[in-house]
Amino acid sequence: MDYEKDLVFGASHYGESSAPAGADRIAMMEFYMKKAAQEEKRKQPKQSKDEMPPPASLQAAPSKKGHHMGDYIPQEELEKFLATCNDAAARKAARESAERAKIQSDNVGHKLLSKMGWKEGEGLGSSKSGIADPIMAGNVKLNNLGVGAHQPGEVTPEDDIYEQYKKRMMLGYRYRPNPLNNPRKSYY
C-alpha cells in the first residue's frame, strides 16, 4: 500500500522524484507523462545490423508520407498532365494551337474554296449558312487503333474532377516503382 502511494506521489525506493511537491495526483500523472514523452523523443530509434534499410525511394522523399500512386509521377509528366486539365490556361493553349494549325492560303483546299467565292470565316454553301469551322478528323490509325479511337488515359475538356483523378492515377501506375525489375507491359 505504501509502495503504491509512493509511486503516485513521486517517491521511489531509489530516491526522490523531481516532480512538484504537494501536487495532486492528476497533476503528478500529467507531469510523468510529459517527462516520459520527452524521454522517448530523445531516444534514437533502434536499428539492428541484421535489419534491411528502407528502399531508396522511401529515403529520398521524407516530405511525402505513405505510398500514393500519384507520388510516383515524375514532376515534368505531372506538369504536362495538369496543363491539359480542364482549366482556363489549357483552353487558351488549345485555342492558340488551333489558330496555328489553321489552313493557310497556300493549301489546295483553301485555293479551291476561294475560287468558288468562299472567304475565311464565312460558312459554306450558297447562302453561307453552313459550317464555318473545319471538321476535325481526330487521330487516324494512331498506335494500331481504329479510326477515331482515343487513349483512355488522355484528359479531355469534358472530364470532371473525378475522371481527371482517375486518369492521373493511371499515369502514376505507368511510373510506379519496379523493385524486382519484372518486365512491364504497356497498359495504357
pLDDT averaged over every residue in the chain: 75
Domain membership flag for residue 33? yes
What's residue 99's pLDDT?
Answer: 74
Coil, helix or strand at residue 62: coil
Answer whether 0.95 is exceeded by the pTM: no
| Domain-located, residue 77 | yes
Kindly state whether residues 28 and 113 are assigned to the same domain.
no
Residue 132 lies in a domain: no
Identify the pLDDT of residue 15.
47
Q: 180 in a domain, yes or no?
A: no
Please report the pLDDT score of residue 9 as a whole number. Answer: 53
Residues 53-84 pLDDT 10s: 766 666 665 555 557 888 888 888 888 888 87
More confident residue, 141 or 43: 43
What is the distance between the alpha carbons of residues 68 and 143, in angstroms, rounded to a whole number?
30
Are 158 and 95 within one domain?
Answer: yes
Find the helix packing angle between 2-9 and 25-42, rounded to 10°: 70
Together in a domain, 37 and 70: no
Phi, psi of 12 (to 5 degrees): -140, 175
More confident: 86 or 52: 52
Whether residues 71 and 107 share a domain: the answer is yes
Structural domain that includes position 100: 66-126+138-174
Judge whether 32 and 19 are in contact, CB under 8 Å: yes
Both 71 and 162 in one domain: the answer is yes
Please tell me the distance from the alpha carbon of residue 122 to that of residue 128, in angstroms, as a whole number: 6
**Per residue in 92-127, pLDDT tens?**
776 777 777 777 888 888 888 888 888 887 888 888
In a domain, 50, yes or no: no
What grid cell was written down for 114? 476561294
Does 157 have pLDDT greater than 80?
no
Q: Do 87 and 148 reside in the same domain of the chain? A: yes
Least confident of 1-15, 26-40, 172-186: 1-15
| DSSP 8-class letter at 20 | P
The three cell numbers locating residue 95: 485555342
Sign of CA dihedral 53, 58, 61, 66: negative
Number of domains within the chain: 2
**Residue 164 covered by a domain:** yes
Please indicate whether residue 175 or residue 63 has the higher confidence score (pLDDT).
175
In the prediction, which pLDDT does 182 show?
82
Q: Is residue 186 part of a domain?
A: no
| Long-range CB pairs of 108-112, under 8 A, 24+ apart, other chains included | none
Examine residue 188 and state whether it is found in any structural domain, yes or no: no
